[in-house]
Amino acid sequence: MEPTPWRDRIRETDELLERLNRLASKIADRRAKALLDGVAELGTVADVARDRGVSWNAVDKAIKKYERKKSADAGGTTTE
């Protein structure tokens, strides 16, 4: 059996990476929405971070990244 030509292997891996990146982005959005629900329930980003055992900065960054993306998708402007 002939090995797959290198150009085909690169194209296949590029397509796979693109699909994985889209999936990772969707998962990050779902996580950020859940974090926002946690803030609504517990009151603050710090409370959510304590509950999850992570830094408040990690929670805050995830939420802000999601909000910037959502704003850009809605036609707003970003600095990224």
The structure's pTM equals 0.79
- For residue 77, the model assigns a pLDDT of 60
pLDDT band at 79 (very low <50, low <70, confident <90, very high): low
Rounded CA separation 43/29 (Å):
20
pLDDT digits (tens, 9 = 90+) for 10-66: 999 999 999 999 999 999 999 999 999 999 999 999 999 999 999 999 999 999 999
Both structure tokens of 50: 């304590």
